Amino acid sequence: MNGHRHILRRDGVSQARRLLEALVPAYFKVDERGPESLLAYANALAEHINYYNAGNRIDGDWQDFFPLPDEGLLALFGDLAGIDGKTTPNLALFIAFLRLFGQGQADLNLFTARHLEFYYKEVLGLERRPRQADRVFVVFELAKNLAEHRIIGGTLLDAGKDASGKPRRYATEKEIVINKAGIESLKSIFVDPADEFKLYAAAQADSADGQGAPFDDAPLWPAFGESQGSLPEGRKNMMPVSLGLAVAGPILHMAEGQRSLTVRIDSLPVDTDTPASRNYRQLFQVSFTGAEGWTGPLAVDARLLTDQEQFSTSGAQTTVFRTASEVNFSQGQIIVLETTQLINRDTGQVNTELRTVTYNLNNVFLGESFINT
């Protein structure tokens, strides 16, 4: 592990940030004017209205009755108790009118929400989903003096308070036993569509080069791998990899002569119309351990079993295919093998006294199969 504290911090865009602003009812209001705009509007309008004095003669306009907004005047809208005896009756009456007008203004501004609701429900035919409780992921850490600790389902976890000051608590969904198990290492494998669908892997994904080199800056890495072709030489973080399986057992201790070895492998259901399923002969590269090292890759005869031949020990509806390899065992080849070493990622050695056969996926053939599918 790299020792960085915020293990869940990552790049990306949350669902809330992906929301289009135009779909939020508050994005557009039919009447967006606030107290300051309304006061300024009244002041500008009052300039065009004549004021008639007691002698019924024009004596200026009404602007003196509707002053331009300032901080003190705007504060009265939020706190009517602040109106004192110094506030003129006409201004107090106008403030009361604007407060009442705000209620009608709020109803008018519901038009956008009602229009969206009509569009979603009546035009698109969408139905409202019930409210869902908030869910979070929690990381537990044991105290140093504990080997393990049981947390029953429904245990309340304190998460502080929400924006309104109310306590926020989360309940565990099921019972869990916390122990000292941890992530020893992170590895990743990637099928590169930009490189003929070849396989790439990182032995230590949370590193700069995928092999354990430290990060120069922020510890960010592609959790599921990435295409290597577009990366500069010093930024590549995955290497070509060969995947497969090894079979070892005393049954491979065969006498010299012509021998046929058949291996049956249960797999997930396969589309039999794809090039990969029609030609399993190229899917695997088969090798045997020999007295002088590995023998192979050998020719393989492979095919999908018919419905009558299919068999699965788990009882699942799986597709089964058989790989058969005919090998001419001769003196000094298979029957006199020396002890080999454990299969190593770099050397390919196997640590067992049993004779071993390996089936490695043909990286080149996989790429051609994906491209031709």
Q: Is residue 181 a contact partner of residue 144, using CB atoms and an 8 Å limit?
A: no
Write down the pTM of the prediction.
0.46
Chain segment 243-270, per-residue pLDDT in tens: 777 888 777 776 666 666 666 666 555 5
12 is a domain residue: no
Residue 324: Cβ within 10 Å count: 13
15 is a domain residue: no
In the prediction, which pLDDT does 178 show? Answer: 92
Q: Is residue 350 a contact partner of residue 248, using CB atoms and an 8 Å limit?
A: yes
Q: How far is Cα 181 from Cα 352, in angstroms, rounded to an integer?
A: 29
Q: How far is Cα 313 from Cα 81, in angstroms, rounded to an integer?
A: 82
Q: Are residues 38 and 97 in the same domain?
A: yes
Q: Are residues 249 and 278 in the same domain?
A: yes
31 is a domain residue: yes
DSSP class of residue 99? H
| Domain boundary residue, one of 221, 241, 261 | 241
Nearest Cα to 296, choosing from 240, 357, 364, 250? 357
Question: What percentage of residues in the chain have a pLDDT greater than 70?
Answer: 65
DSSP-assigned letters across all residues of 155-180: -EEEEEE-TTS-EEEEE-SS-EEEES
Q: Is residue 252 a contact partner of residue 355, using CB atoms and an 8 Å limit?
A: yes
Q: Are residues 310 and 226 in the same domain?
A: no
In the prediction, which pLDDT does 357 show? Answer: 78
pLDDT mean over 130-139: 89
Question: For 97-111, 135-149, 217-231, which range has the lowest pLDDT when averaged over its residues?
Answer: 217-231
Burial of 306 (0-12, 13-18, 19+ CB in 10 A): exposed
Tokens of 211: 């092999």
In the prediction, which pLDDT does 108 show? Answer: 92
Q: Is residue 273 a contact partner of residue 261, using CB atoms and an 8 Å limit?
A: no
The more confident residue out of 151 and 68 is 151
Would you place residue 334 in the very low, low, confident or very high pLDDT band (cuts 50, 70, 90)?
very low
13 is a domain residue: no
Q: Are residues 249 and 350 in the same domain?
A: yes
Would you place residue 118 in the very low, low, confident or very high pLDDT band (cuts 50, 70, 90)?
very high
Nearest Cα to 26, choosing from 95, 123, 104, 116? 116
Q: How far is Cα 309 from Cα 298, in angstroms, rounded to an integer?
A: 25
Q: Is the preceding omega at residue 297 within 30 degrees of 0, hence cis?
A: yes
6 is a domain residue: no
Q: Which domain holds residue 145?
A: 133-184
7 is a domain residue: no
pLDDT mean over 125-148: 88
CA 34 to the chain's CA centroid: 42
DSSP class of residue 213? P
Q: Are residues 266 and 349 in the same domain?
A: yes
pLDDT mean over 50-61: 90
How many domains are contained in the chain? 4
Integer-rounded Cα Rg, in Å, for the chain is 38
- Name the residue with tokens 């030609």: 279
- Name the residue with tokens 């080199």: 213
